[in-house]
Amino acid sequence: MEESFDLIVIGAGSGGMAAAKRAAAHGARVAVLEGDRVGGTCVIRGCVPKKLLAYGAACGHQLADAASYGWTPVGEAAPFRCDTSLLLARVRAEVDRLNQIHIGALDKAGVKLIGGWGRFEDSHHVCVLDSSGGSQRLRGERILIAVGGRPQRPEIPGAELGWISDDLFELPSFPASVVVVGAGYIACEFAGILRGLGVAVTQLVRGDHLLRGFDREASLVVQEGMTAEGIDIRFGQSPVALEGEPGELRLRTADGSVFASCGVLLATGRRPFLEGLNLEAAGVQQEGGRIPVDADQRTNVPHIHAVGDVTDRVNLTPVAVDEGRALADSLYGNRHRQVDHNLVASAVFTQPELACVGLGEEEAVERHGRDGVRVHRARFRSIAQALPQRGGRLLLKLVSEAQSGRLLGVHMVGEQSAEIIQMAAIALGMGATKADFDRTMALHPSVAEEFVTMPD
């Protein structure tokens, strides 16, 4: 028997859940289809568990600095060592707790959660296949695709021997050594986490710098910090084959080098997860492996929409959430709203941490010309490192329009960068100028005060 809904959401990640709950609040009859755990990449195998591991790694730094503040072992207490099996188990337990919370939130909102993978039969009908092989047919007046993305392995022999980022959260413990392949935020974050937890890390980068797409100077400061922490970064290395067996792997690169380790993390990019959707049956067009949408999240089929990483625009959790809510408000709340993708703050939870909003120096120069841009920066060792005398110098950077002084970008590398940039994003969105920052009284002693005391 066919069941009908005003809105069927395929995928219970951040964007899908946000759209479903908001649409239900507006009175729509909504179903969410999910073949995995509820919460999506962010909650289950991304932002949340990764940040918990980053906190665990940061504890090691705090313990290492403790003696400089007068903290010493009492009696015969041994130095601390991280039991990564215990840490991973506790992270997984927290993920399980959050999964249940999100299931409860959907139920409380009046959204029907249906376990199984959705597959289009036509533009209004979806077949849901569950883990036992059963299926049911649903009809949706409107359908939202919110299935997110998945990590991709490089096309080299033996790639199946390596881990993708999803796999790291399911390991019983971390091994003694890991080779990380990649230069993006996932590669750099995990390199820092693993090193902070005592793992020997070699990072292989195909190009000549880390974190492509971020301000180049900021990425170089991150690189300095990672190197200082003992991460062996090798540039100009293109993997060609992975050999061996679990626990004893050898990664060969194009220049003939061989890197041996206990494990290899292949952090070489993500792609929209379109497999199995049968988009052709619904007439939904694809473009370069993604689903293109207009400013109202519509695909080429007017009653089928898509949000989040499956559209491959700005692949961040808060963006997917806002897209989902804007869609629900527009369709069912009598409040047309579109998401502005032009000013989105982002952070990389490396060690040291990087956060930014707006244009990097290179992008600003490309748009406004070298003479049309002014750069203001401060580099210093924070007071938190005055006694330990460990860690590199922080970077705080303002990029402004030369003639008007309007800020084009704010960048920071160092402690609490994400927390500080979140507030700077408000100022940037309101059109703040360098003079506005200069007029703001500093809060001393703090790292953030340097943003309002930079000389012209």
Catalytic residue annotation? 444
Rounded Cα distance between 364 and 367, Å, is 5
What is the 3-state secondary structure of 148-181?
CEEECCCCCCCHHHCECHHHHCCCCCCCCEEEEE
| Helices and strands per DSSP (H, E), number in the chain | 12, 21
CA distances in angstroms from 415 to 327, 351, 418, listed in the order given: 36, 9, 8
CA gap 349, 355 in Å, rounded: 8
**C-alpha dihedral sign at 211, 215, 219, 222:** negative
CB 39 within 8 A of CB 107: no
The residues, any chain, with a CB within 8 Å of residue 216's CB and separated by 6 or more, are 209, 360, 361, 362
Using DSSP's 3-state secondary structure scheme, residue 406 falls into strand
Characterize the bridge pairing of strands 149-151 and 112-115: unpaired
Per-residue b or e along 61-75, where b marks 16 or more CB atoms closer than 10 Å to that residue's CB: eeeebeeeeeeeeee
Side chain identity at residue 454, one-letter code? M
